[in-house]
Amino acid sequence: MTLLQLWAILGLLFLVAELFSVSFVFAFVSVGALVTALLTWVGVTPEVSGQLLCFSVVTILSLVVGRKPLRRWFEAKTKKQEYTEYIGDRANVTQTIPAHGEGRIFYRGTEWIAVSETEESILAGKPVVIRRMDGIRAVVGVEKLANA
């Protein structure tokens, strides 16, 4: 097995590892290995020491330059897919929601964890409106009366 083949195989193995880890680290190590394989194939890095230097520099540069933007892009994509069916629906508070804590609401036949959108206490029995979902928690607000 040649060094060119070794770098290419390492690059592909790191890509597979990224699929399982989703940490956005192995992808950049894979870029370093694949770029090193390419430069070895072209003849720019024929020596092992040059290949190791190339691998190290490309991996570190790609990590420094690309990791944060890629994570932000990925998080923005997943936030757009957030479940929004509940927003605007009414529910009833079954366990008082403290100002800076969690309570419970009754919605669609089951109880849900809920927090107040205004960080004010909401007493049990009050009707609320679901404003958004924060993971498995419903962020709720007190329903305003039309005449008030």
The predicted-structure confidence for 76-112, as pLDDT tens digits, reads as follows 766 555 567 788 899 999 999 998 889 999 998 889 9
Is the predicted pLDDT of residue 146 greater than 60, yes or no? no
pLDDT at position 75 is: 73
Class of domain 90-142: mainly beta
Please check the confidence at residue 131 and state whether its pLDDT lies above 50: yes
Query: What residue ranges of the chain are covered by domains with CATH 2.40.50.140?
Result: 90-142
User: Is the predicted pLDDT of residue 148 greater than 70, yes or no?
Assistant: no
- CB proximity list for 53: less than 8 A, separation 6 or greater: 45
| pLDDT tens-place string over residues 45-87 | 999 999 999 999 999 999 999 888 887 887 776 655 556 778 8
Secondary structure element (H or E) that encloses residue 14, with its range: helix 3-21
Contacts of 28 (CB under 8 A, 6+ apart): 59, 62, 63, 66, 67
